[in-house]
Structure 1
C-alpha cells in the first residue's frame, strides 16, 4: 500500500479501516486469480482508487456523515451498478448508479462483491455483452 493510501486508511475509524483493507485485499486477490497484471492504486477525489488495465476504476471510502457503512464507487456512466443491481438486488444495497453500500454491522457478502469487482476489473472486454456477460 502506498503511503498516501495508508495515510487515508489511517484516518478512518478502526472498524471502517479494517473493512476497507479487507476490500482492498479482495481486489488484489481477484487481480491475481484473474491474471490481470498490475494494479494502479491512487487517490481520486481524496479516496483510494484501484484499477487494472482493461478495467474500470473502483473507489472505496468511509465518510463521517455516514459512519455506519463503507462504499464502493464505480463510474456512473457505465452499466456496472445497473448490472450489479439486476444480479444482486436482494443481497447488496445500492445508491444511485454508482455505489454499493456495505454496512459495517454485517459481514461482507464475499461472493457477490467479488463478482461485482471482477466485472469492473474486466469491464473493457465485456462492456459490449448483454448484462456484461453475467
Structure 2
C-alpha cells in the first residue's frame, strides 16, 4: 500500500480534525481509498482535495472525468460518502448492491462507524464517481 500524501490544504485538515476520533479514522480511510482508486484508474488524473459545503471534497479538475465526491457525518450518525444528487452515482451503486447499504436518497451512502468498511464495494462506488463523465 502506497503512503498517503498529507492533507495540503489547512482548511481540509481542520475539517478532518473537527470530526470525532472514530469518525475521523474511518473518513481518513475513505480519503485513502479515494486517492488510491484515483491513482489506479486511467483517465482520472490529479485529484484536488478541497472543501465543499464544509466537507472534504475530491474533484478531477484537469480531466473533468468525475463528479465531486464528498465525505462527512450525517445528522443520523455514522459517516457518509456523498455524490452529486442529480447524478446516477448512488442509484447505480444501489442497483449493483440492492438493499445492502443505507442510502440518503440519491445523495449519499451512509455507513456505521462500528463496523468494518466494505472496501471492495466502496472502491466501485468511488471509481464510478471519479469516472462519471467518461
Q: Structure 1 length as normaliser, TM-score?
A: 0.87
* Other-structure match for 2:69: 58
CA RMSD, aligned part only? 1.2
In structure 1, C-alpha distance between the alignment counterparts of 2:131 and 2:96, rounded to whole Å: 17
In structure 1, C-alpha distance between the alignment counterparts of 2:99 and 2:114, rounded to whole Å: 17
Give the 4+ runs in structure 1 shifted more than 3 A: none
* Other-structure match for 1:106: 115
Aligned residue pair count: 123
Q: What are structure 1's unaligned runs of at least 5 residues?
A: 126-134
* Other-structure match for 2:95: 86
Q: What are structure 2's unaligned runs of at least 5 residues?
A: 1-6
Deviation at 1:90, TM superposition (A): 3.7
SS in 1 for 2:133: helix
* Other-structure match for 2:54: 46
Q: Structure 2 length as normaliser, TM-score?
A: 0.87
* Other-structure match for 1:131: none
* Bigger helix share: 1
